[in-house]
Chains A and B, each alone.
Chain A
Amino acid sequence: QKEVEQDPGPLSVPEGAIVSLNCTYSNSAFQYFMWYRQYSRKGPELLMYTYSSGNKEDGRFTAQVDKSSKYISLFIRDSQPSDSATYLCAMPLGGTSYGKLTFGQGTILTVHP
């Protein structure tokens, strides 16, 4: 069993839709939960991260963590064609700036006009 599981999709939605992306994990030691966006031929870009359980909102993006279920989500409101990318969940062992990141497989998202 992988430490972090993520449905690879692909996911295709119309512009303006609400998108839900999810990951499950097995390692209880994870304390930080990150979401990266990766455009084609580019490296991952950090969207946001949360610490422990709860919600965090940043513009159209909301991250949720449920540590009791070992389940995290990223919601995108009013999705735009520019949101089309691969979304990766990632969890560091240690802080957010050291230690290895364990990634999910990534979910490919396409937002069509």
Chain B
Amino acid sequence: DAGVTQSPTHLIKTRGQQVTLRCSPKSGHDTVSWYQQALGQGPQFIFQYYEEEERQRGNFPDRFSGHQFPNYSSELNVNALLLGDSALYLCASSQTGTDYGYTFGSGTRLTVV
């Protein structure tokens, strides 16, 4: 049973560009959350999607947007990239209503130059 799959694993972008990161949740999971983890820091919550709607959002600017598809997969889009957006972006999936917790993917390492 595949866990959470994220693509790509690594990405280098230029300041001002736009990027799309992708996530396939663990089988049976219907909720997807995105986190940003800067080097040496804990993950910071970006937003969560459930039933194709953004259910909750953290303190991130509107440059960060997302989408959830009917098959529960999700995308994270970041516009007008800044050097400070360089980080590990983690996707976590869960089954709402259970006590099984979140399963994290291995992340996408984004470097903005």
Q: A residues engaging B (CB < 8 A)?
A: 4, 6, 8, 34, 36, 41-46, 49, 88, 90, 95-106
Contacts and interface: CB of A to CB of B under 8 A. Distances in A.
Given A44-B104, A98-B50, A103 B42 contact: yes
A49 B101 contact: yes
Interface stretch (B12-20, B68-76, B79-87, B88-96): B88-96
A42 B106 contact: yes
B64 to A, nearest CB: 14
A97 B42 contact: no
Interface residues of B, number: 31
Given A43-B104, A97-B31, A97-B99, A88 B48 contact: no
Nearest to B48: A100
A104 to B, nearest CB: 5
A2 to B, nearest CB: 9
Contact of B96 (A88, A98, A102, A105): A98
22 contacts: A4-B42, A34-B101, A36-B104, A42-B106, A42-B107, A46-B103, A88-B42, A96-B100, A97-B31, A98-B48, A98-B94, A98-B97, A99-B48, A100-B58, A101-B33, A101-B35, A101-B43, A101-B102, A102-B45, A103-B42, A106-B41, A106-B42
B41 A97 contact: no
Nearest to A108: B40
Residue among A6, A95, A101 with the highest chain B CB neighbour number at 10 A: A101
A91 to B, nearest CB: 11
Given A90-B42, A100-B58, A101-B102, 9 more contacts: A44-B104, A46-B102, A96-B94, A97-B99, A97-B102, A98-B50, A100-B45, A101-B35, A101-B92
Contact of B43 (A6, A45, A103): A103
Contacts of B56: 99-100
Given A8-B40, A88-B42, A104-B42, A97 B107 contact: no
